[in-house]
Amino acid sequence: MKKEILNIQHLTVQFGGLTAVNDVAFSIFRNEIVSLIGPNGAGKTTIFNAITGFLKRISGMIQFEGEKVSHLKPHQIAEQGIVRTFQITSLFPNLSVLDNIRTGHHMEEKETFLDAIFNTKRKKRIEEETLAKADQILKFIGLEGKREVIANNLPYGEQRLLEIGIALAARPKLLLLDEPSAGLNDTETQMMKGLIKRMRDLEITILLVEHDMKLVMGISDRILVLNFGKKIASGTPDEIRSNPEVIRAYLGEKR
């Protein structure tokens, strides 16, 4: 029985006179991998921003696990279990790889102010747990050898992996990946594909925005297609591949 985890109804976002997202509706079910595709400027990242609370004025309804989350602030959305990555490389640049991931784990560290000041046993225990979890994630994304490297100094491909590591540290139920394969070569994209599948194995539901059609077709359970802010198609990769409207929208798009 497929359980609905995210439900979007009548989502509309306007920037001044421009309607970036126009009455969009869709659902995501537990443990799915869903891809959100569409030409540049179709409104995909805007939808991410709307879901994760980064926009002030949106109309419509966003429900997560039955709870209305439309009006929540970004950190509250994360507390609910929705974590996102960003289109442009987004790290804590001057911190080490390990500290980047430890920071991502913040929500789980229930330290009080007094714990911090008096270095209580509780704090020490929390520190140990965080370190263990961080090492676990480092192994999962394949960066255990780079523990102490400063994030800024990582090669681009590894930076993108670290971003996912940080998001994982926040223990997401639903993970929103914004163009995870942007700028990656074929080998790296294959690794990313494997990583996404392994995350689904961890019972994480994944919604991704992507331009790489090979990746999208190869990994998605379902695909949502956006153009000019409107949802124009939704279905399995095979259905989308042969959809005339989709083909028309993409005329001229690479890959």
Partner 1 sequence: MIFVQYVINGLTIGGAYALIGIGLTMVFGIMGVVNFAHGEMYMLGAYFLFTFFTKMGINFYLSMLLAIAAVMGIGGIYEKAILKPLRRRSIETVMLSMIGFSLFIQNIAMLIWTPVPESITSPFPLTAYTLGGLYFLPQRIMVIFAALFLVLLTHLLLKKTKIGKAMRATFQDLEAASLMGIKIDRIYSFTFVIGVGLAASAGTLLGPIFTVHPYIGNLANLKAFAIVIIGGLGSFTGAITAGFLLGVFESLGAGYVSSGYQDAIGFILLIIILIYRPTGLFGKIGQRR
Partner 2 sequence: MNRDRIITLLFLLGSLIYPILMRDPYYMHMAILIGIYALLAISLNLLLGYTGQLSLGHAAFFGVGAYVSSLFYLNLKIPVWIGMVMALIASGILGYIVAKLSFKLRGAYFVIMTIGITEVLKLVGLNWVDLTKGPMGLTDIGAPTIHLGGLGTLDFGDKIPYYYLILSLVVLCFYLQYRLVSSSYGRAFISIRENEDLAESVGINCYKYLVIVVMVSASIAGVAGSLYAHYVSFIDPSVFAFFISVNVVMMVIGGGQGTLMGPIIGAILFTLIPEWLRVFGDARMAVYAVMVIVIVIFMPRGILFYVTQLLNLRKKT
Is-contact 61 70, C-beta < 8 A? yes
> Is 170 a residue that touches partner 2 (CB under 8 A)?
yes
The option from partner 1, partner 2, none interacting with 55 (CB < 5 to 8 A, set by class) reads partner 1
Binds partner 2 (CB under 8 A): choice among 167, 184, 226, 249: 167
DSSP 8-state class, residue 3: P
Q: Which is nearer to partner 2, 61 or 150 (CB)?
A: 150
Size of the site for partner 2 (CB under 8 A): 37
> Is 92 a residue that touches partner 2 (CB under 8 A)?
yes
Piece of the chain touching partner 2 by CB under 8 A; list 18-26, 57-65, 92-100, 208-216? 92-100
- Least Å distance between CB 56 and partner 1? 6
> Is 255 a residue that touches partner 2 (CB under 8 A)?
no
The whole-angstrom separation of Cα 203 and Cα 30 is 8
Q: Which is nearer to partner 1, 95 or 191 (CB)?
A: 95
Amino acid at 56: K
- Least Å distance between CB 177 and partner 2? 12
DSSP 8-state class, residue 77: H
The whole-angstrom separation of Cα 130 and Cα 122 is 12
Residue 137's nearest CA partner among 126, 146, 150 is 146
Token digits of residue 68 = 């209305």
Window 94 to 133, contacts with partner 2 (CB under 8 A): 94-95, 99, 102-104, 106-107, 109, 111, 113, 115-119, 123, 126
The option from partner 1, partner 2, none interacting with 56 (CB < 5 to 8 A, set by class) reads partner 1
- Least Å distance between CB 60 and partner 1? 15
| Interface ranges with partner 1 (CB under 8 A) | 13, 15-16, 53-57, 73-74
Element (H, E) at 97: helix 97-104
> Is 251 a residue that touches partner 2 (CB under 8 A)?
no
Amino acid at 19: T
Token digits of residue 169 = 């540290």
* Residue 170 exposed, middle or buried by CB count within 10 Å (0-12, 13-18, 19+): buried
Distances (CA, A) of 122 to 79, 106, 127: 22, 15, 9
CA angle 217, 86, 140 (to 5 degrees): 70
The whole-angstrom separation of Cα 151 and Cα 127 is 21
Q: Which is nearer to partner 2, 158 or 222 (CB)?
A: 158
The whole-angstrom separation of Cα 57 and Cα 137 is 35
The option from partner 1, partner 2, none interacting with 106 (CB < 5 to 8 A, set by class) reads partner 2
- Least Å distance between CB 214 and partner 2? 28
Q: Using CB under 8 A as the criterion, which residues of the chain lie in contact with partner 2 when the complex forms? A: 52, 54, 73-75, 78-79, 83-86, 90-95, 99, 102-104, 106-107, 109, 111, 113, 115-119, 123, 126, 166-167, 169-170
